[in-house]
Amino acid sequence: MPKEHKTSVQFMAEERETSHIKRLERLLNAQKSQPRLVGSSGEEILLPDSVYQALRQVIHAMASGQGITLVPNDREMTTQQAADFLNMSRPYLIKLLEQGDISYTKVGAHRRIRSQDIMAYKQQRDAQRRQHLSEFTAFLEDEGFYDQESHEIER
């Protein structure tokens, strides 16, 4: 059921929909040709590749039990919306803004952040996390605490 905000739309699959979404994911993964939509009148429309790729990502996330938030690139977010999107507190987000980690503008006394700047920060943060995790895993392997074949930590 979509939950609408003025800058984004959030979707979370209901439990009764999960089996249908997983079936749809299997169907899309098995496609050999470009999928098409069939309207109620029987009219067929080929899905453009960009729509098809976005649909696959949305369905994969929802089949995995994750919620989805669609945010147009040209929108601005309030500090609370941006903090919610990044899953952090608003005071911590404001600290990042004031440090210059994320660019923003002021409308009167209020800060506004472009959604594309939030996404760029999120991608950079996620890449750094993956890098640090790889480095930590390599350290554990070197020290003999982590066996890559079994993926278990020795006790």
Tens of pLDDT along 79-90?
A: 999 999 899 999
What is the DSSP secondary structure assignment for residue 116, as one 8-state letter? H
Shared domain for 112 and 65, answered yes or no, is: no
| Per-residue tokens: 105 | 């503008």
Percent of the chain, pLDDT > 90? 35
Q: Which domain holds residue 90?
A: 76-143
Residues 70/88, Cβ–Cβ less than 8 Å:
no
SS3 content of the chain, % helix, strand, coil (to 5): 50, 20, 30
3-state secondary structure of 148: coil
pTM above the 0.85 mark?
no
Work out how many domains the chain is built from and give that number. 2
- In this structure, are 86 and 135 located in the same domain? yes
Query: Is the domain of 40 the same as that of 62?
Result: yes
